C-alpha cells in the first residue's frame, strides 16, 4: 500500500455487504442490532439510505450511512480501516453524504457519537458538528 494512494467515494454495492461488515469489525465500530448482512443489504438495495464506501486501490477501507427521514438527516456507521486513517477519508465520506442528504431535502444533520470514543469525539467537531448538550438519546430495540 502506498501512503499516497488516492481514494474514491462511491455507492456500496449489494455484493459488498460482507466486506463492509468486516470493515466495521476491523475499525472496532461498536456492534449494533442492524450489523448483519440482511439489514445492510436492504439498506443498500432498497434505499433511500445513502450507503457509501471509500475505496483505495480496489479495497473498501471506509463506510458511511446517511439517511433523510423526511425531516432530518442522520449519519450512521462512519468507519475507516485503521491502516487508512488521518488522510481525510472520513472527512470526504461526510462531505459526500451531506451533499446527497441536502439534495434529498435535509437542512440539519445529526451524527450519533459515543461520548467515550476519543476518535469519534475528536473527529466530529473537526468537520463542523458541534455537541448539542440539550439532547439525550432515548432508544428501544423492537
Ligand atoms: C473517526 C474515524 C472515522 C476518522 O476517520 P479518518 O479517515 O481517520 O478521519 P480524517 O482523516 O478524515 O480526519 C479528519 C479530521 O478529524 C480529526 N481527527 C481524526 N482522527 C483523529 C485523531 N485520532 N485524533 C485527533 N483528531 C482526529 C482531525 O482534525 C482530522 O483532520 P487532520 O487529519 O487534518 O488533523 C476513524 O478514526 C474511525 O473509524 N474510528 C473508529 C470508528 C468510529 O469511532 N467511528 C465514528 C462513530 S460516530
pLDDT in tens, 31-70: 889 999 999 999 999 878 999 999 999 999 999 999 999 9
Which pLDDT band holds residue 1 (cuts at 50, 70, 90)?
very low
**Mean pLDDT across the stretch 73-81?**
97
Counting from 1 in the atom list of ligand 1, the atom nearest the Cα of 126 is: 29
The whole-number pLDDT of residue 48 equals 83
DSSP letters, the chain, are --TT--EEEEEPPGGGHHHHHHHHHHTTPPP-TT-SHHHHHHHHHH-SSEEEEEEETTEEEEEEEEEE-SS-EEEEEEEE-GGG-SSSHHHHHHHHHHHHHHHHT-S-EEE---TT-HHHHHHHHHTT----TT--------
The whole-number pLDDT of residue 46 equals 85
Q: Specify if 131 maps to a domain.
A: no
Which pLDDT band holds residue 5 (cuts at 50, 70, 90)?
confident
The protein residue whose alpha carbon is closest to atom 32 in ligand 1 is 86
Q: Specify if 3 maps to a domain.
A: no
The protein residue whose alpha carbon is closest to atom 3 in ligand 1 is 79
Domains identified in the chain, total number: 1
- Whether the CB of 113 sits within 6 Å of ligand 1: yes
Q: Specify if 28 maps to a domain.
A: yes
Whether this prediction's pTM lies above 0.85 is answered by yes
**CATH code at position 77:** 3.40.630.30
The whole-number pLDDT of residue 66 equals 97
Which residues span the domain enclosing 36?
8-126
Ligand 1 pocket check: which of 27, 82, 119, 137 to mutate, most ligand atoms within 8 Å of Cβ?
A: 119
Q: Specify if 42 maps to a domain.
A: yes
pLDDT in tens, 93-127: 999 999 999 999 999 999 999 999 999 999 999 99
Q: Specify if 140 maps to a domain.
A: no
**Mean pLDDT across the stretch 9-17?**
97
Q: Specify if 108 maps to a domain.
A: yes
Amino acid at each position: 500500500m502506498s501512503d499516497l494512494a488516492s481514494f474514491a467515494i462511491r455507492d456500496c454495492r449489494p455484493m459488498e455487504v460482507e466486506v463492509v461488515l468486516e470493515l466495521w469489525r476491523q475499525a472496532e465500530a461498536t456492534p449494533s442490532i442492524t450489523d448483519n448482512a440482511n439489514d445492510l443489504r436492504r439498506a443498500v438495495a432498497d434505499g433511500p439510505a445513502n450507503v457509501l464506501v471509500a475505496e483505495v486501490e480496489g479495497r473498501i477501507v471506509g463506510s458511511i450511512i446517511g439517511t433523510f427521514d423526511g425531516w432530518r438527516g442522520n449519519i450512521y456507521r462512519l468507519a475507516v480501516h485503521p491502516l487508512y486513517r488521518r488522510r481525510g477519508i472520513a472527512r470526504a465520506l461526510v462531505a459526500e453524504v451531506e451533499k446527497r442528504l441536502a439534495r434529498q431535502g435535509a437542512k440539519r444533520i445529526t451524527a450519533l457519537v459515543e461520548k467515550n470514543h476519543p476518535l469519534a469525539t475528536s473527529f466530529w467537531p473537526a468537520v463542523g458538528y458541534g455537541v448539542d448538550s440539550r439532547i439525550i438519546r432515548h432508544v428501544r430495540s423492537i
